[in-house]
Structure 1
Amino acid sequence: MNTSQQPTRSGSASSYSASRDSSNADGSLLNQAGKWLNKGSVGDLLGRMSTTQKVVGGALLAVGVAALLRGNKAGKATKAGSNAQTDTLNELLYFVNDRIEGYQRAVQESQDPQLSGYYKQLVSQSQQFANELNGYLRQQGGGRQEGTTVKGKLYRAWMDAKAALTGADEKAILGSNIYGEEWALKAYKEALSDNTLSGTLRQAVERQYQHSQNTYDRLKSMEGKQE
């Protein structure tokens, strides 16, 4: 899903060098962020880190997410061939699974019964979305996709670290959900715009996209009431 942008052969030597150095820098930062993420739970890790290390770790995660977002744009342009529809489904499912984990996290952290209840509904809705898309994937000979995006993992780890340092409140949880829903909407838009989906599958994705848009609108309305 994540690919590095390659320089064109027609570019100058200096352009190639700059692109290669940028790619190497992004890869190095992502590797460092990945090592930081895989060392253990966020709570345990924070207990072993100095304030400077916490700040550096957070910066690495932020830069890693930005690099992955750039990589995703480059990767979309290379997708082609007879398996394009399966590729689109797999990619969309990564973000739907991110949506599941994001709202599960919100359920665990929220202390507001009404908000927590709504987040539980969104977990269930996201699981239904994933089941539906996996059903279409199975019809095309693919295996069930239960993975999440690396950028989603990094973002949730960063939010966990932030909550551990500053505390989690309902406004912060809501803001995180809005950000996650924006990612989901972007994924649905890209899946519908690359012209690989057709028939009942496209209709299903369009329906899920509309539900996601409705969710985003409701979350934004809830945010406005908290201000």
Structure 2
Amino acid sequence: MTQSNQPTRSGSASSYNSASLGSSNADDSLLSQAGKWLNKGSMGDMLGRMTTTQKVVGGALLAVGAAALLRGNKGKTRKASAGASAGSDAQTDTLNELLYFVNDRIEGYQRAVDESQDPQLSGYYKQLVSQSQQFANELNGYLRQQGGGRQDSTTVKGKFYRAWMDAKAALTGADEKAILGSNIYGEEWAIKAYEDALSDNTLRGPVRQAVERQCQQSKQTYNRLKNMENKQE
């Protein structure tokens, strides 16, 4: 679910020209450096110790790292997943992969709750955190029925995207429009993950029905967020 046809939005972190990102070796080097950033401590602590120049350069580094990740290859992810779970049921693999994105949805809306200063918007984002947690619990329940362990991890792409957004907010400031735009992008990402899970035809019976229902609710959320964005313009 991490293929290069992830949905993109004009002006979002993913709207980079791939030709400007250089070779795969260059991407690996940038991602390695960005990864070191994430491993050194919290973003707030790091930014507090950095000069303005370091913040600008570091923010750009994370932006490029996020863009490189966002144009990753789905086939590589599936291959790695298959290698890690050789012989496991295909439905379990699909649920595991989908849960990474559902957990990203939880983290994304929790980030919006923490940053939003608008009581009405913050209240809605809290509802979406709760909804996402319910989605994850439901899918983990089916995963458990099939003998799998609970999946609480998020995608690497999601981690970098949120780190990039944090760096951007620290440099330029966060506002409600930016937070809303980030949520819309995240919901597009979630919808794509649901559609990929349904399109590979590994889900059956009640599991497939649950994923279809969650996908539909995700689309409803996306439409509501877009309407909210239009009202801000």
* Letter in structure 1 aligned against 2:149: G
Matched, 1:46 2:47: yes
Aligned to 2:10: none
* 1:196 partner SS: coil
How far is the alpha carbon of 1:165 from its aligned partner?
Answer: 1.7
- The residue number in structure 1 matching 2:38 is 37
Output the CA distance in 1 between the equivalents of 2:118 and 2:72: 37
Find the partner of 1:112 among 109, 112, 118: 118
- Give distance in 1, aligned partners of 2:23 and 2:64: 12
Once the two structures are overlaid, the 10-residue window that deviates more, 206-215 or 82-91, is 82-91
* Cα distance between partner residues in 1 of 2:165 and 2:65: 14
Q: Residue type matched to 1:51 in 2?
A: T
2:55 and 2:171 in contact (8 A); partners too = no
CA distance 1:135–1:153, shift in 2 (3 Å): same
Q: CA deviation at 1:225?
A: 0.2
Partner of 2:57: 56
Q: Tell me the TM-score normalised to structure 1 length.
A: 0.85
By how many angstroms is 1:160 displaced? 1.1
Map 1:1-227 to 2 at 5 A: 22-75=23-76, 78=79, 82-227=88-233
Quickly say closer, same or farther: Cα 1:197–1:76, change in 2 above 3 A. Answer: farther
Which consecutive residues of structure 1, in runs of 5 or more, have no partner in the other structure? Answer: 4-20
Q: Count the aligned residue pairs.
A: 210
Query: How far did residue 221 of structure 1 move?
Result: 0.3
In the TM superposition, residue 184 of structure 1 has moved relative to its aligned partner by: 0.5
Q: Measure the CA separation in 2 of the matches of 1:22 and 1:198.
A: 40
Counterpart position of 2:9: none
Uncovered stretches (5+) of structure 2, i.e. residues with no partner? 4-21
**Please, which moves more after superposition, 21-30 or 215-224?**
21-30
Q: 1:42 to 1:82 in 2, by over 3 A?
A: closer
Amino acid of the structure 2 residue aligned with 1:46: L
Q: Is the 8 A contact 2:2 2:77 kept in 1?
A: no
> Which protein, 1 or 2, shows the higher relative CO under an 8 Å CA cutoff with sep ≥ 6?
2
TM-score (normalised: structure 2): 0.83
**CA RMSD across the alignment:** 2.1
For 1:35 and 1:2, the matched residues in 2 are separated by: 22
